[in-house]
Amino acid sequence: MMRICFYLIGVAAFGLGSACSSPASEVDHHDEAHEELEESVALARPSDRVIFEAAARVVSTAPARGEINVLNRALIVRRLVAAGDRVKQGQILLEAAMPDVSEAVALHRSAGAQLELAEKRHNQIAPLQKEGLLRASELYDLEQSIHELRAQRARSRAIWQAVGLSESELLAVERAGLIPLRAPVDGVVVRMEAELGHMAEPGGTPLAEVQGEALGRIEANLGFLPPPGSLIQFDGIDGRSLALSSTPAQSLLDPASGRLTVWFKPQNEVLVPTGLLGKLRIRPGSADLLEAPSNAVDRDEAGTHVMVDAAEGPRRTPVRVLEDRAGRVVFVARLPEGARVRLRARVELQGHSH
């Protein structure tokens, strides 16, 4: 009797264990079967999101940066601005004593006064020489003096014009003995090296630098040309955003490195700081792009491809991938939206070669 009870208990335990384990096995089998059934997927257009981004910078198409240098020895006497100040083109930033320039200014003015008298004298006596009332040598000496005065003015003019002076400023410069150094462009003073009492030498460190804004283009290094119809945007580190033309203004491929440099114009002409860094961001827009799970695309020695469902069997079609992340891939291909492509493309390729 005892032996029969143990036997019944064993049978009951076996049955209970079988009942508990069967559903799990069936679920695993069901998942595998479902996975095997999902052999292809329909291609769709990607959602409106950033599908690619790259580092970019602004390059100006016009001068937007300037330095203040000296061509003559200069003693810094006054500083009128500091780094961080916004200035206008032509605004005085520094005043300096420049003996060579001051001498050129004085020479230009004195030679001018002498030249005016000499030319007036020449106009008076030239008719006398024609009538034989004046020796030719006297008129010749006067003409030589006129030529020398004109040469002196020309040499002195070259010196003061080189530091940015105009003729209307010469009198004030001669009285004050100081030469104004002006901002070369509109912008912000990003560097001020001039110190009061500092003697600047020609060819030395620039006394100041002004960074301005100008019409610019956006330069970036890409691995591809964006498809026509893409929405392209530049987001600068200063917070500004620029919508760019979808067609590059120019592109250049370096054969040695394989690097593709692309330049884009803003859709609207705007002034931007030269050298501004940021990100170039590309969205699908109306471009002919398609999207599928990452395992629908395969790469091998022949290139990147998908396997398209066709009546005669899977057909290999090359694609150009722009984005592959989060299990989704965006690519360019000659395929219609809704076309079905096989998952596990490499497995399909082993049985079908086209």
Q: How far apart are CA 301 and CA 308, in angstroms?
A: 19
Domain boundaries, the chain: 40-46+287-351, 52-63+212-283, 71-210
Prediction pTM value: 0.58
Q: What is the spatial distance between Cα 257 and Cα 58, in angstroms, rounded to a whole number?
A: 22
Cβ pair 352, 307 in contact under 8 A: yes
- 50 DSSP assignment: -
**Which superfamily does CATH assign the domain made up of 52-63+212-283 to?**
Efflux pump adaptor protein, beta barrel domain (2.40.30.170)
Q: Which two tokens stand for residue 45?
A: 């257009």
Rounded Cα distance between 354 and 346, Å, is 13
Cβ atoms of 304 and 318 within 8 Å: the answer is yes
How long, in residues, is the chain?
354
- CATH number for 40-46+287-351 (one of 3.40.190.10, 3.30.70.270, 2.40.420.20, 2.60.40.3080): it is 2.40.420.20
* pLDDT tens across the length of the chain (354 residues): 444 443 434 434 444 444 444 444 444 444 444 444 458 899 999 988 898 899 999 998 776 788 999 989 999 999 999 999 999 999 999 999 999 999 999 998 889 889 899 888 888 877 777 776 777 777 778 888 899 999 999 999 999 888 889 888 888 888 888 999 999 888 899 999 999 998 999 988 899 999 888 888 999 998 888 988 999 999 999 999 999 998 899 999 988 887 899 999 999 888 888 889 999 999 999 998 999 999 999 988 888 999 999 888 888 999 999 888 888 889 898 899 999 999 874 444 444 444
Cα 330 to Cα 55, 252, 296, 318, 338, distances in angstroms = 20, 25, 11, 13, 14
Q: From 208, 155, 157, select the one nearest 181 (Cα to Cα).
A: 208
